[in-house]
Structure 1
């Protein structure tokens, strides 16, 4: 057994590898071959879930051929249309059966040879998420690397989960944790932050992984993702800090607007009634009224959001906490009881 293999005590674990693919007909076959060669002697049972995200080329057809070649541990999930990487990843996670779940891209840029080592590290260090760090990236510096570094710094600063590479799809999760995380929109790049809602930040780490230049097809990355990252980041911050108390998010904004608006109205009232000045054409009057109206709207929105939050948790029987485990020990019998 190789040095990357899981120890004998851990052989009972099953690892699910989830790979979303979209228009990757040339990459599917070498990808499955690389995964099979990397895991066939790893020392644990594994399955591969190829999630075809509505490809418009022959990706689905090639994937079906590969499934016939390699056997039933290669599972194929075909989505009705192109829903995006996040939805495809969520579909694969929901259909997986593994105790540990690995995700990676289908373009051959992530190296499947890193998987056994990462799974072993996650188990040895008792982590809930291990993120790959493409330290030596084989991408265009201007289009990919610079925006990525800025985004990594910004996300780490605002969420408190400081990682060097949020964008690396090669990640290993504890199955019981990631299945409690629901991914929407294009939130796959914020998975460590979403996981941090459920577990302590200390249970999330990163490790250097290999990275290869794209061999086939074209990158799906465009510069338009930059503004979407900023919008998604706002949503992540809200859910991380104010998911169960949304009024604490809207309330301070409303109170700040109301305080400034009230101060402006007091100044104008003083000038009108004590100094006899005309204030009808003053811009401050319009701004003050608008700020007070905004304050009422923000505070009202916070109250309504609070009601919706409580209704959601109560109607769905969800709690604002999650158990890791419940430990019960039988009390020891004393001599007087025996």
Structure 2
């Protein structure tokens, strides 16, 4: 059974070659996922034609597809933050603009939410279609989050996540970089929110270039990781009060 409402958003950085197919896939899959829905494209300071393609898609699908633009690149977490803030409906979901996930596969998350009543459902990649170096980074990162934060999820950064709006009320996140997803899950767990994990397929990137393995991205994530960990040791209440609320209302 479809959800009543769903806001689906995509963080996009230099994804002009993926955007049309991404929106086509979303609009084909969404009627089976929700009765009422919207698609939000978050252009995170792209230097290619992402903004031009996005504007064209907004005009073509007026009232369904919306665009949020960052004039300057804010980072992956900053793009997700804008997606959460722009979303209007009772359920919120996101996946990346690189088309390594299929929108139709979000049905697995919707089914999990409806069968269990879990307010947060996150995907884990059944077979990750990434280069070996990224797989090594991902394994080290998952182990580090488990050791230092007790975050025992299989795939911290899997970009297939579904939330009920109520689960996000009162949740703030400090990071605007690659640590955003992990920090969000850590804070949800600390708040006692149940998180369900569901396996989803993962596909190779066919257009555009990945940025997640860049040294600047990794350095920023490491800084944010230790900022939260040390903050929780020193003054837990103050550390949890840091950051900005995800929802506008």
| Gap change, CA 1:22 and 1:227, over 3 Å in 2 | closer
Which of 183, 192, 198 pairs up with 1:199?
Answer: 192
| Alignment equivalent of 1:171, drawn from 157, 161, 183 | 161
Partner of 2:69: 78
**Does 2:237 correspond to 1:244?**
yes
- Give yes or no for the alignment of 1:152 onto 2:134: no
Confirm whether residue 108 of structure 1 aligns to residue 78 of structure 2: no
CA contact (8 A) 2:108 2:198 kept: no
Q: Deviations over 1:190-242 (max 9, x none)?
A: 12112223234xx1121111111011111112252444443322233345564
Checking the alignment, whether the CA contact within 8 Å between 2:13 and 2:50 is kept in structure 1 is yes
Displacement, 1:155? 0.3
- 1:162-196 residue CA offsets vs partner (Å, 9 max, x unmatched): 01111112111121222433333313231211222
Which structure 1 residue ranges, 5 or more long, are not aligned?
247-308, 313-338
Per-residue CA distance 1:251-298 (angstroms, 9 max, x = gap): xxxxxxxxxxxxxxxxxxxxxxxxxxxxxxxxxxxxxxxxxxxxxxxx
Alpha-carbon deviation of 1:28?
Answer: 0.5
User: Greater helix share, 1 or 2?
Assistant: 1
**Residue 199 of structure 1: SS of its match in structure 2?**
coil
**Length-normalised TM-score, structure 1:** 0.65
CA contact (8 A) 1:193 1:236 kept: no
Question: Secondary structure at 1:19's aligned position in 2?
Answer: strand
The alpha carbon displacement at 1:39 in A equals: 1.1
1:41 positional shift: 3.0
> CA contact under 8 A between 1:110 and 1:170: conserved in structure 2?
yes
SS in 1 for 2:211: coil
Aligned to 2:38: 47
Task: State the match for 1:188 in structure 2.
Answer: 180
TM-score when scaled to structure 2?
Answer: 0.86
Query: In the aligned structure 1, how far is the partner of 2:96 from the partner of 2:138?
Result: 17
Kindly report which structure 2 residues correspond to 1:1-338, keeping only aligned pairs within 5 A, or say none.
5-6=1-2, 13-141=4-132, 143-183=133-173, 184-186=175-177, 187-190=179-182, 191-200=184-193, 203-224=194-215, 225-238=217-230, 242-244=235-237
Q: 1:240 to 1:72 in 2, by over 3 A?
A: farther
Task: Tell me, in whole angstroms, the C-alpha distance in 2 between the residues paired with 1:50 and 1:179.
Answer: 23
Higher relative contact order (CA 8 A, sep 6+): 2
Moved over 6 A (4+): none
Structure whose residues are more often strand by fraction: 2
- Unaligned residue ranges in structure 2 (runs of 5+): 243-249
Give the aligned CA root-mean-square deviation in angstroms.
2.1
- Out of 210-219 and 71-80, give the one that drifted further: 71-80
